[in-house]
Amino acid sequence: MPAEITVVAGGGGFIGGHLVKQLLSEGHRVRAVDQHPVEQWHQVSSEAENLVLDLRLAGACDVALHDARTVYNLAADMGGMGFIETNKALCMLSVLINTHLLESARRLSVDRFFFSSSACVYAADKQLTPHIPPLKESDAYPAEPEDGYGWEKLFSERMCRHFAEDFGLTTRVARYHNVYGPNGTWSGGREKAPAAICRKIAEAKLSGNHEIEIWGDGEQTRSFMYIDDCVQGTRRIMDSTITEPINLGSEEMVTINQLVSTVEEISGITVTRRYDLDAPKGVRGRNSDNTMIREQLGWEPSTALHTGMEHTYRWIFDQVAALERV
């Protein structure tokens, strides 16, 4: 009897590509689905069934979930702060993906459904200063999420909850906090802060012009989770009995200036920092409270920022250098 199919929606994306590889290594039969042509995927695993489908369409979701028993929904139109602050409607349209996937999962008798939410669901008034208390899961309400992207994620969380309550579909929701690592977006306007800083410092090192631009004053705070921790946490949450949305992030909070200093140390150069105070910069402070995940799973993300950024910088440096040789 063939192994049950596990679907990774958004399988051509950064996190999706890593998750597909992990599932394959565990012996799962994997179907990776993405709207982009396969040659544009971040990673392609030949052992997987790779489909190009627009999951905003209900019919495409039926095709994607045919004979599937487990679904990971990582598909969304998103990027770093420069993208989500200027493309709110596009971010909101991702609600079609989760809605149609949930409906297909219900009708096709899928056993388990995972939704990748975001720390952008958290209320803005709890993120006004750099040194805020870590965000607990309950801090999402009263609702005041990031406009556009955060509202879509919060609404889709509720959809998962009500499909579980009304239809008995087993759903799991993780709120990702700033995932980074190799094989991700590092240029073009959708990259997030860790990748953008790695790219800028790699370009500075290769060009000899050691000046970079930083969005904001550099004192805004974040925590950043390495991709390996994200994949491991996603798998653990999916297989758990946790029914409520849960944080999946690091508690190692740093300023953007500290993040730059970390990459300087890794790269072996010191840069001059030029601050653009008018650029998109998001909330003033954000960090993950991992109390719930420690209590529920006896585990939490543990990759040190310096370690993860070293892997990330080396990979991005190679991409920048290869592009300059063309």
Q: Taking the chain, what is the end-to-end CA distance rounded to the nearest angstrom?
A: 49
CA-nearest of 111, 132, 130 to 255 is: 130
> Measuring CA to CA, which residue among 70, 78, 84, 83 is closest to residue 97?
78
* In contact, 176 and 117? CB cutoff 8 Å: yes
Give the helix ranges, DSSP H, for the chain: 14-25, 58-65, 81-84, 88-92, 95-107, 149-167, 193-207, 227-238, 256-267, 291-297, 305-325
The yes-or-no answer on residue 226 being catalytic is no
Task: Determine which one of 149, 176, 180, 226 is catalytic.
Answer: 149
Give the amino acid at 147: D
Non-local (6+) Cβ contacts of 275 within 8 A are: 213, 214, 216, 217, 218
Length of the chain: 326
Q: How far apart are CA 258 and CA 221, in angstroms?
A: 9
Question: H or E stretch including 69?
Answer: strand 68-73
Q: Residue with structure tokens 């208390």?
A: 133
**Which of 271, 226, 220, 244 is CA-nearest to residue 165?**
244
Residue type, 299: W
Catalytic residues: 149
